Structure 1
């Protein structure tokens, strides 16, 4: 599917979650009374973005990481990553029946942590009000008081509910605020992140809500959340007439603290026979399969639409995408299918690839590796450093990445992000 942006590691996103909760229905078209151009200013507008000296370093923390990945908030403390993070995006809450809902109650707030798993070395008790990831993140914030956490809703698998939510944005926003500010965990979260893939375009399913829908949802959230953080992960499809132009991101920019264009997953073994290509190129290059599928083109298009650079972050993948049956060292080779991965075919964590298939070249500002008949693309500390130079040159607010468990035990990649922005 080279004509549409494809998901990041979507299977990993829902491992351990209840599949029956995933909305599969076709989205209902939204008829709005007024065009996006008539949207009134929010009751509380988004604060100005941070200065370059306050660059944001933002990482996704997945609720299903508590299962097979055995990745916990404590790992952010012991690796030193918590000291380098400015914000955590907790993924994901669901969107059902036009409302924000809990994604996985067991991982989120029910799982009992043992002393050796706990951030502060204290085990959960059977009768305490809050357990699970939420309590561990609370303890992490206690140790790192400058750290902010946002609850992210949607994602590739759970974006189907946004179309219905957009039919009554005020009710949706109210439900989200009630959930994020639930008294059991209100102190854990500093705001909300929306990951709608994709407004007025196609992701796992196709949305026909129109370009007014996303701005109205974000306006309602800003009005409901006031001065708390309101952010959004958005498409990075820089093609002419593509998803960036369809979503209403320009109109909605006034309501968000920042946007996170997902500048990764441009290419991968979802095109099983290739051609092999870098999944997160910073720039275009000779032979790229689809022009406009690169980070700098996406950033330029958003800026051309009027989104301030100070409200944009650059996305980094802490994983690689790969093919097998490849004979050609350089990009553009044919393949026979996805390369094997620990959790999903065609995808592997950086911490594994750096040992199993070290980088052998660079293209478009990112790295690739040929080992045996496998071909992988991924970012390394060196390519991340160059990308952070680009982010600073463009006046971007910082960088974000998917996702924290893909890094090495000593936080090799997050160190490169932090140092590169410092």
Structure 2
């Protein structure tokens, strides 16, 4: 998952996506489908969208927008991103945004303004109101993300204490009714992310085991994991197969395979479904990720297909097809090299498709992003593979009428 500083850090670290293991797959195969509690929704039907805590600031994307776009009726789960991981514990991210900000009647999900003396305001109260409108909607609190994954190494040294801290925070009496579980976004176990974590291949499995033991069978425990299926890549750095028995499902981040952190290119779609002639790096595409994870013994029903509601782009490009050279990242609304689908669909309309996704050349800029049409193709793949559903990063990237989430449904 991405915070606003993701591209800058990626340029420094030359990282894309990662998570997993080959050893021990046999044990995981025997237990992964039976140890964790059954998921609430049938395989294939989950639709999980990330809602960013900071999006209520510069993006002015509120929980209300989930309702007005029609997305609330199409989602099965929302991942609230992000809580922090620090001092070996789960912690609040932005407490003001989460619990204190007063919403006006115009901003509120139900049209009722917050009062100065109510015990809970902020995003959490708005999510509570959304759940009242959609009683079957489940909400998970996601911890970590690119910026806040540096604390997982310390957390892994005492998994039980970490799990206890997460439970105490998620189940705080002020907002215990809001959340139905926890999502872990560790980028990445036993690999170099913000800092070089060398906690060992078992660390992720031990952490998820402790979380499951603490949260029990009545809560959802999920994790966003790397999509790096290259030989010796991030999937091979951690025991994702062994941990599968403790999670309800995984969200493999099948996007950001390529981007303008490689400032001069070659241009390449950041979320290809399949390989194509000239792809810059082997096995950096969605179907390779899913095949590798399934090959480790992780049940298909515990894998969700990841979709990015944004594009990545370069400038200084003269070639329309993928594989051209560039001079740097294209200008984005909030950050260089990245922009929302809702912006790109008119700013730089699609000019071609490759590898099951779309790209666009406009002037000297080159972008890649998914559209309703390419998402439909990916949904066919998801169904053919028997995957547990779809997740996406993140809600504010969609149009005001939710055309991308409609394509998922």
Normalised to the residue count of structure 1, the TM-score between the two structures is: 0.89
1:197 and 2:187 matched: yes
**CA separation of 1:64/1:12 partners in 2, compared to 1, >3 Å: closer, same or farther?**
farther
1:324-380, Cα deviation, whole Å (9 max, x unpaired): 000000000000000000000000000000011000000110000000000000000
Q: Does the aligned pair in 2 maintain the 1:49–1:310 contact within 8 Å?
A: no
The equivalent residue for 1:157 is 147
| Pairing of 1:294-333 with structure 2 (within 5 A) | 294-333=285-324
Provide the rounded CA distance (Å) in 1 between the counterparts of 2:88 and 2:304. Answer: 28
The equivalent residue for 1:237 is 228
Provide the rounded CA distance (Å) in 2 between the counterparts of 1:166 and 1:118. Answer: 39
**Tell me, which stretches of 5 or more residues in structure 1 are unaligned?**
1-7, 15-34
1:15-42, Cα deviation, whole Å (9 max, x unpaired): xxxxxxxxxxxxxxxxxxxx99999x89
Pick one of 55, 77, 92 that aligns with 2:45.
Answer: 55
Normalised to the residue count of structure 2, the TM-score between the two structures is: 0.92
Q: Does the aligned pair in 2 maintain the 1:45–1:222 contact within 8 Å?
A: no
1:125-174, Cα deviation, whole Å (9 max, x unpaired): 11111000000000000001010000000000100000000000000000
Structure with the bigger RCO (C-alpha within 8 Å, sep 6+) is: 2
Pick one of 246, 256, 259 that aligns with 2:247.
Answer: 256
**Tell me, which stretches of 5 or more residues in structure 2 are unaligned?**
8-23
**CA separation of 1:329/1:225 partners in 2, compared to 1, >3 Å: closer, same or farther?**
same
Q: Does the aligned pair in 2 maintain the 1:12–1:343 contact within 8 Å?
A: no
1:354 and 2:345 matched: yes
Shift of 1:48: 3.0
SS in 2 for 1:158: helix
1:388 and 2:379 matched: yes
Q: Does the aligned pair in 1 maintain the 2:43–2:386 contact within 8 Å?
A: no
Q: Does the aligned pair in 2 maintain the 1:92–1:151 contact within 8 Å?
A: yes
**CA separation of 1:9/1:96 partners in 2, compared to 1, >3 Å: closer, same or farther?**
closer
Shift of 1:86: 0.3
Provide the rounded CA distance (Å) in 1 between the counterparts of 2:395 and 2:305. Answer: 16
The equivalent residue for 1:30 is none
1:378 and 2:369 matched: yes
Shift of 1:203: 1.7
Q: Does the aligned pair in 1 maintain the 2:314–2:330 contact within 8 Å?
A: yes
The equivalent residue for 1:98 is 88
1:209 and 2:202 matched: no
SS in 2 for 1:193: strand
Provide the rounded CA distance (Å) in 2 between the counterparts of 1:268 and 1:37. Answer: 35
Provide the rounded CA distance (Å) in 2 between the counterparts of 1:288 and 1:238. Answer: 14
Provide the rounded CA distance (Å) in 1 between the counterparts of 2:26 and 2:162. Answer: 21
Pick one of 177, 188, 194 that aligns with 2:167.
Answer: 177
